[in-house]
Amino acid sequence: MFKTFPKGGIHPPENKITADKSVIVLPLPSTVTVPLNQHIGAPATPVVEKGSAVKTGQLIAQAKGFVSANIHSPVSGKVSKIEPVADSTGYKQMSIIIDAEGDEWVETTDRSATLVKEITMTREQIVERCRDCGLVGLGGATFPTHIKMTVPSGKKCDMLIINGVECEPYLTSDHRLMIEKGPEVLTGVTIIMKALGVTQAVIGIEANKPDAISTLAGLSKEFAGISVVALKVKYPQGGEKQLIKACTGREVPSGGLPLDVGVVVQNVGTAFAVYEAVQKNKPLIERVVTVTGKSVSRPGNFLVRIGTPVTTLIEAAGGIPDDTGKVVNGGPMMGKALALTDVPVTKGTSGIILFPEPESRREEMMPCIRCGKCSSACAMGLEPWLLSVLSERAMFEKAETEKITDCMECGACAYTCPAKRPLLDYIRLGKTTVIKMVRERITK
């Protein structure tokens, strides 16, 4: 029996079309658009001007404040514009646009493929390097990595959990990374362990990736303190709290953080980026993105530079199929639908999914029949039907006592609803309002 989290969860069709497609390096784009806010927190401040010549890996925007991240040039060339450009959210935000002229890297980066296992840096140096290299969580939340590597005083951390679950259907970028870059990922894990001062790390991988489990389990024998745990396939197991519960049995308290139970969670993609940053001094300027969909002619996993237009990426996968009705940035459960494909790949882009027209529309909404399937599906033990109705009727105080802020917006409720009710839409509305309400109360 595989481990899993105890309550709720769903099993949507996996559709891992690209699971056995090796990562292909995408040719350099002719221009890149690099938004200044690709992470949670404050946008970075540009340190280059229009006309500046930049090298690949050169710092072009500096983190502003504590929760923020540096941004580096993904290509070498000339800054052509610094202006607001629509990103994947559809909103315009300040971006640096660079015309690529070749791929001349900064000298500090070691571009050789040799595996460097020995870790020479101290804890402080590791954290500093991750900050310098602009690392953010690559699972999708894009929280600056260096902050999660520092255990605040008064908190204790005794375990690192690495998220190799990739529970979203379709996506396979983490899966491929685990298979193709196993030693690098495990070295990255060891580096994070050192930074946190922990002696044990658990890599959680769902049982639908047996090759990744066996690869990493085999390799982990050479790395002290790292173990691999196979997890039952169940969405949303990649949710931080669910993953911790599945791997350790520990339960993060409502409103709390993993550190409250002595755990830090990082994504496998992040572990790989940590390896490259610490051992190779390589800033975060590229990532693996899955481009997939049932009608896509050449679906695959691509190593792309940040700032590459999604359109270019889709071209590499055979172009947009004629029947496309929706393009999603991220997974089908939590990703964002793109209004335009002419937006840049950012640090948080894990996949691009092209849905055929019939699948791109929601089905007709019917009345709630009180079947309770949403409550059974909710991994947080919430009652989505109730939260949805409370939000719909603007009963936000009640929604707060019913723990609406515990919702992680995984969408399992809306997925499972036989009446096709837009449960999560209403819950999001309620959650945002309640968070605003609570903030106002605190500042009063």
Partner 1 sequence: MNNILNVSPSPHQQSSETTRKLMFGVVIALLPALAAAVYYFGTGAIIVTLTSVLACVATEFLIQKYVLKTKTSISDGSAVVTGLLLAFNVPSNLPLFIIVIGAVISIGVAKMTFGGLGNNPFNPALVGRVFLLISFPVQMTSWPVPSGFKTGYTDAVTGATPLGIISEGVKNGESITALMDKVPSHMQLFYGYMGGSMGEIAAAALILGGIFMIWKKIITWHIPVAVLASAALFTGILWMADPTKYADPLFHLLTGGMMLGAIFMATDYVTSPMTPKGMIIYGTGIGVITVLIRTWGAYPEGVSFAILIMNALVPLLNMYIKPRRFGKEVRNG
Which residues ranging from 31 to 50 are in contact with partner 1 (CB under 8 A)? none
CB-based contacts of 439, cutoff 8 Å, min separation 6: none
**Maximum pairwise Cα distance, the chain:** 64
- Cβ atoms of 141 and 291 within 8 Å: the answer is no
Which of 141, 366, 435, 438 is the binder for partner 1 (CB under 8 A)?
366
Which of 25, 115, 371, 438 is the binder for partner 1 (CB under 8 A)?
371
Count of residues binding partner 1 (CB under 8 A)?
Answer: 74
Residue number with CB closer to partner 1 (68 or 237):
237
Q: Which of 377, 331, 372, 379 is nearest to 355 (CA)?
A: 331
Determine phi and psi for 95, rounding to 5 degrees. -140, 155
Spatial separation of the C-alpha atoms in residues 128 and 98, rounded to whole Å:
27
Minimum distance from residue 17 beta carbon to partner 1 (Å):
14
**Contact between 360 and partner 1 (CB under 8 A)?**
yes
Minimum distance from residue 330 beta carbon to partner 1 (Å):
8
- Residues 225-244 touching partner 1, rule: CB under 8 A, are 241
Spatial separation of the C-alpha atoms in residues 116 and 275, rounded to whole Å:
9
Bond prior to 144 in cis (omega within 30° of 0):
no
- Residues 399-428 touching partner 1, rule: CB under 8 A, are 403, 406, 409, 411-412, 414-420, 424-425, 428
Minimum distance from residue 231 beta carbon to partner 1 (Å):
17
Minimum distance from residue 356 beta carbon to partner 1 (Å):
11
Spatial separation of the C-alpha atoms in residues 27 and 313, rounded to whole Å:
10
Residue number with CB closer to partner 1 (100 or 407):
407
- Residues 2-31 touching partner 1, rule: CB under 8 A, are 7, 10, 12-13
**Contact between 60 and partner 1 (CB under 8 A)?**
no
Spatial separation of the C-alpha atoms in residues 43 and 346, rounded to whole Å:
13
User: What would the x/- binding string for partner 1 be over residues 148 to 187, using CB under 8 A?
Assistant: ---------------------x------------------
CA-CA distances (angstroms) from residue 38 to 72, 257, 303? 12, 22, 18
Minimum distance from residue 418 beta carbon to partner 1 (Å):
5
Minimum distance from residue 408 beta carbon to partner 1 (Å):
10
Which of 320, 395, 432, 437 is the binder for partner 1 (CB under 8 A)?
320
Query: Got the DSSP string for 178-237?
Result: HHHSHHHHHHHHHHHHHHHT-S-EEEEEETT-HHHHHHHHHHHTTSTTEEEEEE---BTT
Residue number with CB closer to partner 1 (115 or 369):
369
Minimum distance from residue 312 beta carbon to partner 1 (Å):
14
